[in-house]
Amino acid sequence: MRKRLYNKCPMPNIGLATALPRGLSLKVQAPGPPNKIYKMNKNVVNSPRSRSERYKKGEALLNKIHGAHTGETIVSALDDVCQDLASMTLEWGFGEIVSRSGIDLKTRQLVTVASCVTLGHAQPQLRAHIEGALNVGATKEEIVEVILQVALYAGFASATNAMLLAKDVFALHSAVNR
């Protein structure tokens, strides 16, 4: 059985398929002619000039948040597994999303800390973003309050694990910045 799903959003909700019973397939199609949006954006997104600019912008921002050469570290760590993931992280994640002007960098890092706590399984990323939040001006008290706030929604186990990890990051950050 196939079902068509129309949504106002041009991108399909990929996670929807995971909620379907086994054996039931779902065909997702954006409104309008097939692939019109993809073809329109594909030329802009993949132009060598824009890719290079976004990559440099993303790498500079990542290094500002997490310290010098962090971008290079991510690229080299993923080099022999999936170079595209590193490029996407730098170009799209940092070069397009994190660099937006809607909220300041400190707020973005606090939101990212909250998101990692909520996931409950992103400990390396949580550690990196707590460090990043401190690097861009967040206080220990602000980070603790964000984790405490998220406990209500993410659960106390996730918040407790995050708080213990934050304690380690705070100690290391204090020792390095003395």
Query: 93 and 71 in one domain?
Result: yes
pTM: 0.70
Q: Band the pLDDT of 167: cuts 50, 70, 90.
A: very high
The predicted structure's pLDDT at residue 52: 79
Residue by residue, DSSP assigns 111-169 as HHHHHHHHHSS-HHHHHHHHHHHHHTT--HHHHHHHHHHHHHHH-HHHHHHHHHHHHHH
Query: 114 and 52 in one domain?
Result: no
What domain range includes position 59? Answer: 48-98
The predicted structure's pLDDT at residue 51: 60
Identify the helix (H) or strand (E) that includes residue 97.
none
The CATH number that applies at residue 125 is 1.20.1290.10
In this predicted structure, the answer to whether residue 163 has a pLDDT above a threshold of 80 is yes
